[in-house]
Structure 1
Amino acid sequence: MKKIFLFSITLFSVLIFFSCKTENSKSKAKSITSSSEIEISKTELLNKIKGGWAGQVIGCTYGGPTEFKWNGTMIDDHIPIPWDDTRMLWYYENSPGLYDDVYMDLTFVDVFRKYGIDAPDSLHAIAFANAEYPLWHANQAARYNILSGIMPPESGYWKNNPHADDIDFQIEADFAGLMSPGMVNSAVEICNRIGRIMNYGDGLYGGMYVAAMYSLAFVHDDIEFIVEEALKVIPEQSDFYQCIYDVIKSYKSNPDDWKFAWFEAQKRWTHDIGCPDGVFMPFNIDAKINAAYIVIGLLYGKGDYGATIDISTRCGYDSDCNPANAAGILGTMIGYDAIPEYWKLGLDKVEDLNFQFTEMSLNKVYEEGMSQAIEIIKRNGGEETDKDVIIKYQSPETVPLEVGFEGVYPIERAGLNKRLSQTQKEIDINFNGSAFVLTGYASYEGKQEDAVLEFELYIDDALTETIKMPTLSLIRRHEVAWNYDLTEGEHKITLKAKYIPENYYVNVRDLITYSINKSEANVYF
């Protein structure tokens, strides 16, 4: 009985200790206001910057084998995900495209390095559009727009970019938070400039939210507080806010079962309106649901580095980028030195290697990130001494509401599989609705040189646009054609070949039809 009594006292003491620690952490967070000045050593600042950048590579590498292989389902616990000291170097050498969410960040870091913190958005856009790395979704659509003379913010606007709500800026906004320690509104303002290159609305909010969490992670050590406080930058009326808020509610009602939160998010937030690859398909690269998976990892990981990465990965969909964000945010909070050695296995083999298509390695960006963070600190009223920096803390301010794909609801996806070519010079397509997207690509048969094919788009017999479609994947147009501004009713789309040489063709794959009538669409929209 005495042993049982002593054990009970000990257990009670442990519970009281952790309860007090949590309450003290929350009290500390509440005591930091917009008038607070926070002193942090340069050594610790660099440690946290390194933790953020290294965390992205760790999380991305761990999730690499699973990316988009589990769509609409979780990766069950019995399925092993390998990890050892060879994996990072293997991806660097054999599949460097895995790190698109890192080398995209580095494009913007490098522009700031070359041209200063005040570098205009146009320089970022031009560097991004002319880079040699492959892109997808909102990034690729923006690249095509910029190379065609459509500059930001129009390049990311949803009527010019059907992928505007996709994950793209969310996975590459880490740099903005890492440049802005404790200055969440500065991080958001950087996102507001650069994120419009490729995204709008919820897609832009995803980047702002991730950057805000990074910024807060420099000065707070409570991951629950960071997740909730960062959400204050997002307008409550937005779907993005509501999705993340639902995850937080799920966590509070059931804090020990991440699969409960996953199911709740899955039931309400996995429908896709914009991305032509995801509408009525078992694929989802939408920002908000993938951000939900970042948050599920952070909350249910409860500060444990391995659990955080593993949970974010096992949520599925973009299961390399989501753990990369989660591992980067947590890595910033705890610092590079506190990342468990197991999760740094192989990191030493790649830290001096430039990411493909860039002139920057992890070791270079650690130092450059430190320099840029100190400059942002000083620009926002902070100070630098020999050994420390003093940060003028910023309380989150909510950005204005903007909604992409407003008033259009997908009602049908129909396979067409038609070819516009030298022998088939005209294609007519009829539909009933208020908007459409034609998916497809430009290509050729046999061995040919890459070319830019050209055709005209007519809607209801009126010439609407002359479209150029490169066959070269690097600069491809992501969709054949789209228009979100039609009146509800019967419409005819006509494609007329203008320059399509022999053996070249435009493959028109699917027609996605939209309506202004919500009742015609899925009840969840």
Structure 2
Amino acid sequence: MVLQLKYEDYLDQVHGGWIGKCIGGAIGFMQENNKGILHYTPESAFPPEIPANDDLDLQVLWLQELLEKKGSRFSPADVAEVFAKYNLLMSNEYAIAVRNVELGIGPPLSGSFNNRLWIHSMGCPIRSEIWGFICPGNPDAAARYAYMDGIIDHVSESIYGEQFYAAIEAMSFVEKDLRTLIDTALARYVPESSKLSRCLRFVIGMYDDGKPWEDARMAMLRRFGSSDAADAVSNISLTVMALLYGGGDFGKTMMLAVNCGYDTDCTAATAGAIMGVIGGVSSIPEWWLEKVGKQFVIGTVDIKRYSYEILDLAKDTCAAGLSLARDGVIDVDFIKLPEGARPTLPLPEKPASVAFEVDYDGLPSIGFEEPKTVTLTVSNETAVARIGKLTFALPAHMEARIEAVEPQSAGATDADEVAASRAETNDGAEPKAGADEATAAEEAAGAGSPAAAANAADEGHAPGNAPGNAAADVSAGLALAPFQIAQVRVTFAVKQTAAALPQKNLIGVSFLEEDGLSHDHRFGLSGAARVKLIGPFWDDYDTMRFDADPYGEKSQKMNGIPDPKAMFNSFVNIDRAYIDETDAGLDAAEGVYVNLHEDRIDLREHVGYYGPCCFYLVHEFHMPFRKEESEMFIGNDDAYRIWLNGEMLMEGRESDMYMPYNNFRLDVTYKEGVNRVVVKLVRKGERFDFSYMMRTPSLGFRWYTDMEHVIRG
């Protein structure tokens, strides 16, 4: 059944929703990430000036650069492209997702790769309103858009939260009872087995049982909470608590959202948006309307608006909703449209006739002497057969072998012909360098980094990480019947003669049909850091207490009393030099070379020793130019020391929960050319987690993607 919706009512509710979003973002700004129970009043909560807020900014970005440029039928890749291009807030999962996109790793892996800490954070639930507002009465459509948004920088719980919010906001145009909205969205859009579902049902139960909100809050945190102030499950539950305990009173709801603490700009902004969209502008008391004003502020995305009036934002949002109805995305009949109210999004583009999808079957990364097999799905989206050649254009330091083409290669009628087709391009052997690579190297002589130039000198190819050196390309024939899908399995490897492996390794894909029509795609593989692992080392007695072995060669006893710790555990001392810690000593020390595919280092797969111990890691990487006043962030759960180019930068002695920002230094200089990081690490517990991440403020606070890991061993 098609929903009939008066435009006047639609605009009023959207306008109220955006005003509520702005109010909540403003009053939650000063307290953001304070995890205690707070005691703000409406008067004390408002900052002197209305601040910019990513909760709103990113949704304005989606409206202006995604919907108004791409139309209603955009793809997750479009969302990721806009996010990486215009987002200025390089924190937590945002920065990691942007780096992944720049490395050629698209959604959904852009949201999970290298993002183990913030995959369930608040970055995407706060972006729900735009999807609910443009899909009035159509929560399924709102949830689909929320999913495409959420996967660029999150997984599961956070995405469920964005879908939950978007569904509530979409249904608010046809249902005004808050409890019905919450219960319906929870039942339909949050998997019952998820942590978010269990936590929300717990909070609702506490409310139904008449528990005070303070008790409900603490009980929820004890059972489901996190030390991370931006944890999605905790914050979404606090938002629902504020909505329930607020009892329909706008001011009470807003102050509960703020005074519950945690990610307060997020909780209050969403609570305000939901209250505002349910009741429209008239449901927001005049005092709040006067305090927030009529304009919004943008500061965390790199865009300019023709107008910063909240009402104009609401009108543009409604124009997008009208466009979705025109395009058949939502079933709404908007009636009584005033002059000037019309669809403004571009008409949907004709879908691509050939589509590509990459399955990495694990991490989207590659390491030296660690080949990576990827499955590329090529889909014929039309009723016309397509015959041609599929080509992979590789970075010059890589090689590839096509393992299988299913259903079959172009023109092949049996297995022998398929094999012959593959042999024509691959010789049925390991990937080899092409004969024309020297020409590519000559054309690129003098370009790129010394490390890449060393690659070129060793192998005779162009430096850099971009695809398209014809000599390195591999191809196979491909025939697609109408609406047929082919799966192409390809194994990529770093050449044995490569001197360095870049972080960014882009691979071009081209399906060139016999009539000359070309269909192109591109994806990336993150280059793993190549490090020398030295150790582990440990002590059989406590060297922080004793200068020599107090037990000699006898049973471990102290004054005749058994020392069970010495018997059944080991000791480690961050101050003890287990080897010569100079560069010469590290070079001479026995070790193994391992590939680290993510920032967060877990050495358990490389070290079999069980017990407290010490390791050394030596990582050499090439920087394309000198980077001054740079930042290094350390994530640790135990003691460490870290040196850069022979200078000790930082040390820590604490045992802590791992978090990437536990320690940092903001005045680091990376020289042009090869840099050496040495890390001394202590492990005392079961787990061992460590990371060091680097960025430069003058380069936009983006994590580096232009390093090349020097290959040794």
Instruction: Tell me, yes or no, if structure 1 residue 370 matches structure 2 residue 496.
Output: no
Question: What's the CA shift string for 1:261-310, capped at 9, x where partnerless?
Answer: 21221110113xxxxxxxxxx44311110001110011011111001111
Residue 387 of structure 1 and its aligned partner are, at CA, apart by: 4.0
Aligned to 2:6, which of 41, 65, 72?
Answer: 41
Alpha-carbon spacing, 1:505–1:305, altered in 2? closer, same or farther (3 Å): closer
Residue 144 of structure 1 and its aligned partner are, at CA, apart by: 1.4
Alpha-carbon spacing, 1:113–1:259, altered in 2? closer, same or farther (3 Å): same
Q: State how far apart, in whole Å, the 2-side matches of 1:513 and 1:83 are.
A: 35
The within-5 A match list for 1:418-457 is: none
Q: State how far apart, in whole Å, the 1-side matches of 2:321 and 2:597 are.
A: 45
Alpha-carbon spacing, 1:482–1:51, altered in 2? closer, same or farther (3 Å): farther
CA contact (8 A) 1:188 1:208 kept: yes
Query: Which residue in the other structure is 1:9 paired with?
Result: none
CA contact (8 A) 2:121 2:154 kept: yes
Q: State how far apart, in whole Å, the 1-side matches of 2:131 and 2:289 are.
A: 24
SS of residue paired to 1:151? coil
The unaligned stretches of length 5 or more in structure 2 are 342-530, 539-590, 638-656, 660-685, 688-713
Residue 345 of structure 1 and its aligned partner are, at CA, apart by: 1.7
Q: State how far apart, in whole Å, the 2-side matches of 1:52 and 1:430 are.
A: 57
SS of residue paired to 1:316? coil
Aligned to 1:332, which of 277, 281, 287?
Answer: 277
Matched AA of 2:38: I
Query: Which residue in the other structure is 1:323 paired with?
Result: 268
Alpha-carbon spacing, 1:499–1:462, altered in 2? closer, same or farther (3 Å): same
Question: What's the CA shift string for 1:327-378, capped at 9, x where partnerless?
Answer: 1011000001221111112433525x65563323333321111011223345
CA contact (8 A) 2:199 2:237 kept: yes
SS of residue paired to 2:86? coil
Query: Which residue in the other structure is 2:523 paired with?
Result: none
Alpha-carbon spacing, 1:496–1:250, altered in 2? closer, same or farther (3 Å): same
Q: State how far apart, in whole Å, the 2-side matches of 1:89 and 1:38 are.
A: 43
The within-5 A match list for 1:163-312 is: 163-232=118-187, 233-254=189-210, 257-271=212-226, 282-312=227-257
Q: State how far apart, in whole Å, the 2-side matches of 1:205 and 1:179 are.
A: 19
Instruction: Tell me, yes or no, if structure 1 residue 494 matches structure 2 residue 442.
Output: no
Q: State how far apart, in whole Å, the 2-side matches of 1:119 and 1:89 are.
A: 39
Query: Which residue in the other structure is 1:473 paired with?
Result: none
Residue 215 of structure 1 and its aligned partner are, at CA, apart by: 1.2
Query: Which residue in the other structure is 1:151 paired with?
Result: 106
Q: State how far apart, in whole Å, the 2-side matches of 1:227 and 1:310 are.
A: 20
Q: State how far apart, in whole Å, the 2-side matches of 1:291 and 1:485 are.
A: 35
- Higher normalized helix content (fraction of residues): 1
Query: Which residue in the other structure is 1:120 paired with?
Result: 75
Task: Give the structure, 1 or 2, with the largest relative contact order (CA under 8 Å, sep 6 or more).
Answer: 1
Instruction: Tell me, yes or no, if structure 1 residue 74 matches structure 2 residue 19.
Output: no
Query: Which residue in the other structure is 1:382 paired with?
Result: 332
SS of residue paired to 2:28? helix
Residue 383 of structure 1 and its aligned partner are, at CA, apart by: 2.1
Question: What's the CA shift string for 1:421-462, capped at 9, x where partnerless?
Answer: xxxx97868699xxxxxxxxxxxxxxxxxxxxxxxxxxx934
Query: Which residue in the other structure is 2:407 paired with?
Result: none
CA contact (8 A) 1:270 1:284 kept: no
CA contact (8 A) 2:6 2:334 kept: no
Q: State how far apart, in whole Å, the 1-side matches of 2:168 and 2:139 are.
A: 8
Residue 382 of structure 1 and its aligned partner are, at CA, apart by: 2.7
Residue 195 of structure 1 and its aligned partner are, at CA, apart by: 0.9
Question: What's the CA shift string for 1:183-234, capped at 9, x where partnerless?
Answer: 1111110011121001101121111111111112221111111111111211
Q: State how far apart, in whole Å, the 1-side matches of 2:607 and 2:165 are.
A: 37
Residue 158 of structure 1 and its aligned partner are, at CA, apart by: 5.5
Residue 260 of structure 1 and its aligned partner are, at CA, apart by: 2.3
TM-score w.r.t. structure 2 length? 0.50
Query: Which residue in the other structure is 2:665 paired with?
Result: none
Query: Which residue in the other structure is 1:481 paired with?
Result: 600
CA contact (8 A) 2:242 2:253 kept: yes
Residue 139 of structure 1 and its aligned partner are, at CA, apart by: 1.6
Q: State how far apart, in whole Å, the 2-side matches of 1:82 and 1:237 are.
A: 41
Alpha-carbon spacing, 1:193–1:507, altered in 2? closer, same or farther (3 Å): closer
Q: State how far apart, in whole Å, the 1-side matches of 2:537 and 2:115 are.
A: 21
Aligned to 1:508, which of 634, 640, 655?
Answer: 634
When Rg is computed on C-alpha atoms for both structures, the one with the higher figure is 2
Matched AA of 2:154: N
CA contact (8 A) 1:89 1:350 kept: no
- Percent sequence identity is 21
Q: State how far apart, in whole Å, the 2-side matches of 1:88 and 1:159 are.
A: 35
Q: State how far apart, in whole Å, the 1-side matches of 2:199 and 2:535 are.
A: 36
SS of residue paired to 1:345? helix
Aligned to 2:56, which of 93, 98, 102?
Answer: 102
- Higher normalized strand content (fraction of residues): 2
Q: State how far apart, in whole Å, the 2-side matches of 1:484 and 1:371 are.
A: 53
CA contact (8 A) 1:157 1:200 kept: yes
Q: State how far apart, in whole Å, the 1-side matches of 2:118 and 2:535 are.
A: 23
CA contact (8 A) 1:75 1:315 kept: yes
Matched AA of 2:63: V
**Between 502-511 and 223-232, the greater mean CA deviation after superposition:** 502-511
Q: State how far apart, in whole Å, the 2-side matches of 1:308 and 1:48 are.
A: 18
Residue 178 of structure 1 and its aligned partner are, at CA, apart by: 1.2
Instruction: Tell me, yes or no, if structure 1 residue 461 matches structure 2 residue 592.
Output: yes
Q: State how far apart, in whole Å, the 2-side matches of 1:487 and 1:236 are.
A: 38
Alpha-carbon spacing, 1:317–1:354, altered in 2? closer, same or farther (3 Å): closer
Alpha-carbon spacing, 1:207–1:485, altered in 2? closer, same or farther (3 Å): farther
CA contact (8 A) 1:302 1:308 kept: yes
Query: Which residue in the other structure is 2:19 paired with?
Result: 54
TM-score w.r.t. structure 1 length? 0.66
The unaligned stretches of length 5 or more in structure 1 are 1-34, 272-281, 390-424, 433-459, 468-479, 515-519
CA contact (8 A) 1:89 1:349 kept: no
**Between 496-505 and 311-320, the greater mean CA deviation after superposition:** 496-505
